[in-house]
Amino acid sequence: MEKLLHYVWMHKLMPSTVLRTTDGRCAEILDPGQHNNNQGPDFSNARIRLDGMTWAGNVEIHTSSADWTRHGHDQDPVYNTTILHVVERAETEVFMQNGHQVPQVVVGVPQEVKDNYEELLRTTDYPRCHRFVPQIEPIKAHSWFDALLAERMEVRAKRILAILDECRGDWEQTTFITLARNFGFGLNGDIFEMWAKRVPLAAAGKHRDNLFQVECMFLGLAGLIDKIADEGLRNRMHAEYKFLSHKFSLPDPMPTSCWHYLRTRPQNFPDVRIRQMARLFHEGHCTLSSLLDANSLEDMDNRLATAGISKGSRTLIIINTVANLLFAYDMHHGTYNYRTRATDFLEQLPGEKNYILKQWQACGLNVGTAYDSQALIQLKKEYCDHARCLDCRFGFEYISHLMRHNG
């Protein structure tokens, strides 16, 4: 409950009645201060007015005033700059290490608010706030979507930039690895990334015009030539890969056993996806320049279509790969030339269809585009799954609503 009290103080959700210190002085909160997650007082640089006199300093918050002494603050000089002690119960006066008394105000959180907050954290329902979400104004919900999407894309961009560092600033290799990982469509993502890091793009580029040779190199390095059903084609590919392996001193093929086929649809079989990667490479669409040159969603979709990728898979690749690569490129260069294009693509694409989004739609939220769906996926993974309701704007609206109606 102390965390909830922190929240009420930080957002100035206290009841509208005039606050008074335990010794009768009128207390006006000018600035609740900055929340401190490290050692020391809970809020720093706060400003309050006591009986007309303005004070600046730190604020400490406890459920009970006795916690001040119990936590040793009366012996710690760090707390000598405390201008206010905020508590739910004031059983005793408190003093700083220098002997000065600390003003205290009692801020009560109504029991109904506590009960609803505890239920919010305890429930196994998803979303936790499903009963309240329909009451949130659409404009407020979608302003939260904007922040969530930016957060999600920044996290993903940072992962791409980590690969860029690993590739020593080589954007073409970074693009190839990022695309490959997403061709794994979840189950084979890690293995595809491992495979892509083994592909010598400079060597493959010497045979880019010959699709058969590119397929042989790609499948051979993956250890998947034996997955080719046609025996004659399989034998020719083995012979060609042997030639390419000798010519470029290629590393040993990956073990076939590392690839996941079980519970994978035929269109997602690794050998099928690798041949599609080979066709994209052959057509010149595995490069960053190709992605940057695609100035419309239709253009980008057409480039991916040359590899025979289904419409649904192309949509997922644009959402999970292309948009994030564009965002990462701008982030790396400190520019905004491609971030807008990335979000434009997401606004034009339909939202993914999965259980996460169905649950939000059941609450009355409009999830029409990939922009919306990506934001809500971020909300679930980073907030709902970790019970971070007090960090969520839906949670803020919920707690604010409860405080207004129970204050």
Closest Cα partner for 369 from 353, 392, 393, 380? 353
43-50 and 34-35 beta bridge pairing: antiparallel
Residue that is last in its domain, among 109, 124, 150: 109
CA distance 294 to 305: 13
Q: How far apart, in whole angstroms, are the C-alpha atoms of residue 350 and residue 110? A: 43
Sequence letter at residue 340? T
Q: How far is CA 186 from the centre of its chain?
A: 16
Give the whole-angstrom CA distance, residue 407 versus residue 401.
10
Asked whether residue 139 falls in the same domain as residue 251, the answer is no
**Is residue 192 domain-shared with residue 339, that is, in the same domain?**
yes
- Ramachandran angles phi, psi of 116, nearest 5°: -65, -35
Contact 193, 173 (CB under 8 A): no
**Residue 396 and residue 406 share a domain:** yes
| Cα–Cα distance measured from residue 184 to residue 350, given in angstroms and rounded to the nearest whole number | 21
Distance CA 351, CA 154 (A): 20
pLDDT value at residue 2: 85
Q: Which domain holds residue 305?
A: 174-347
Nearest of 260, 259, 261, 241 to residue 251 by alpha carbon? 241
Same domain assignment for residues 141 and 39: no
Cα–Cα distance, 368 to 372 (Å, whole number) = 7
Q: What is the mean pLDDT of each run of 10 residues along the chain (407 residues)?
A: 86 78 92 90 94 94 95 94 94 94 90 84 83 87 93 96 96 96 91 96 96 97 96 96 96 94 89 96 93 93 93 94 96 93 95 85 87 94 91 89 75
Asked if residue 218 and residue 114 are part of one domain, the reply reads no
Place of tokens 């066709």: 279
Helix (H, G, I), strand (E, B) or coil at 104: strand
- 364 and 315 co-located in one domain: no
Q: For strand 82-89 and strand 104-106, is the pairing parallel, antiparallel, or unpaired?
A: parallel
**The pLDDT value given to residue 326:** 96
273 shares a domain with 161: no
Which tokens hold the place of 23? 């010794």
Query: What confidence score (pLDDT) does residue 402 get?
Result: 81
* Structural domains of the chain, count: 3
**What is the DSSP track for 45-75?**
EEEEEETTEEEEEEEEEEEETTHHHHTTGGG
Q: What contacts 24+ positions apart, CB below 8 Å, involve 175-179?
A: 175/286, 175/287, 175/288, 175/291, 175/325, 176/201, 176/281, 176/286, 176/287, 178/321, 178/324, 178/325, 179/277, 179/280, 179/286, 179/317, 179/321
User: Do 216 and 290 belong together in one domain?
Assistant: yes
User: Same domain, yes or no, for 82 and 33?
Assistant: yes
How many degrees, rounded to 5, is the angle at CA 227 between CA 225 and CA 232?
70
Tokens for 25, please give them.
């002085």
Q: Are residues 158 and 193 in the same domain?
A: no
Residues 128 and 224 in one domain: no
Decide which of 302, 330, 347 is a domain's last residue. Answer: 347
Q: Clarify whether residues 226 and 208 are in a common domain.
A: yes
Domain end, chosen from 83, 109, 135, is at 109
Neighbours of 373 (CB within 10 A): 25
